[in-house]
Amino acid sequence: MRVVIAGAGSVGRSIARELIENGHEVLLIDNDAEDVQSSRVPDASWLLADACELTALDDAGLDNCDVVVAATGDDKANLVVSLLAKTEFGVPRTVARVNNPKNEWLFDSTWGVDVAVSTPRLMTALIEEAVSVGDLVRIFEFSRSQAILVELTLPEGSPWTGRLVADVPWPADTVLTCLVREQRAIAPSGDDVLEVGDELILVTAVDKERELARLLNPASVRLDDEDDTSGGAHGVGGHPGWTPVGELAPDARLLLTTEGVVEMGPDSPHPGDADTSTTAAVDDESRASTAPTEDTPPPASVWAPGRDRPSGRSRRGDDQVGRIS
């Protein structure tokens, strides 16, 4: 297999050494003369050029390349290299290094990236895997198939301890690939009995991740995540951060206020229904006594904002839209 690596820094050179040891042909590209030293990886080919330029990639022979690895320390350069490799040269496989986790959302097929490797995210997953018991930890995501590799250490409270693997009603598109017990990797079969402390390595679909976590360890799933319509993770009617605290009458009218959505009774005047010809004076003292404050709970007929109410930022973050960090 012929592999071209853009970026001859410590990361690019380490990848090159591993690939060469496995019998692959490697070409390293970098525009820094200090990094382009063949003595560092003597069995690799070297090219002193800017990998973001078409002429340099053409000189590197990307048209007969199997894999391109964009391993520079600049996310912008890695995206450009991946896009040019995929669109201009039709490279079958592109792998790109993500330096800043805030830019991870950009590294997809739109920019010609087949596999995005985020070192910070991998380190976080490994740390969580090492210390978490009973929580489903996402180890890796396969970009093309939208499948994920997850791990869970079976806790004492799991309903499946002492049960056969075949008895577990696994969610659709979920496969138990490995069972780690006492530092031994076991190829699982339906006759294996699950024990407390077993590390389960599974491949599942992204949309089945929560269902799988709920199945293996119901205690790890917060109560407000159990029902999307009960004001939990997705809140009222799927809206995040809103908590139901009362029932609405069938003929209820709702008024949007800064405190929430207030139910108006059948005889309650609507602000738009007031007679503009006569304006009733409102006593400031009585109004203050009935106005909600931070120390008083909202009325029973209010859908009040929960503690985790969104700040209004976009999913990717306002500071990330339109530019790369």
DSSP string, 203-246: EEEGGGHHHHHHHH-GGGS-HHHH-GGGTSSS-GGG-TTEEE-S
Last residue of a domain, one of 94, 117, 140: 117
- The pTM is what? 0.51
Using alpha carbons, list the distances in angstroms from residue 248 to 85, 234, 300: 58, 20, 9
Q: Are residues 14 and 103 in the same domain?
A: yes
Predicted confidence pLDDT, tens digits, the chain (325 residues): 999 999 998 899 999 999 999 999 999 999 987 777 778 898 999 999 999 999 999 999 999 999 999 999 999 999 999 999 999 999 999 999 999 988 988 998 899 999 888 877 777 666 665 656 778 888 877 766 778 899 888 988 889 999 999 999 999 999 999 999 988 999 999 999 999 989 999 999 989 989 998 999 888 765 435 444 433 333 333 344 443 444 445 555 555 554 455 555 555 555 545 444 444 444 444 444 445 555 555 444 444 444 444 444 443 344 444 456 6
Q: Are residues 29 and 102 in the same domain?
A: yes
**Is 183 part of any domain?**
yes
Q: Are strands 253-257 and 260-264 parallel, antiparallel or unpaired?
A: antiparallel
Q: By residue range, what is the domain housing residue 195? A: 132-221
Please name which of 106, 81, 98 lies closest in space to residue 4, comparing C-alpha atoms. Answer: 81
Q: Are residues 216 and 253 in the same domain?
A: no
Give the whole-angstrom CA distance, residue 99 versus residue 72. Answer: 9
Give the whole-angstrom CA distance, residue 286 versus residue 66. Answer: 77
Last residue of a domain, one of 117, 140, 162: 117
| CATH number of the domain that residue 55 is part of | 3.40.50.720
Q: Are residues 28 and 113 in the same domain?
A: yes
Q: Total domain count for the chain?
A: 3
Q: Are residues 209 and 246 in the same domain?
A: no
Ramachandran bin of 191, using left for φ above 0, alpha for ψ from -120 to 50, beta for the remaining angles: alpha
Q: What type of residue sits at position 223?
A: L
Q: Are residues 23 and 47 in the same domain?
A: yes
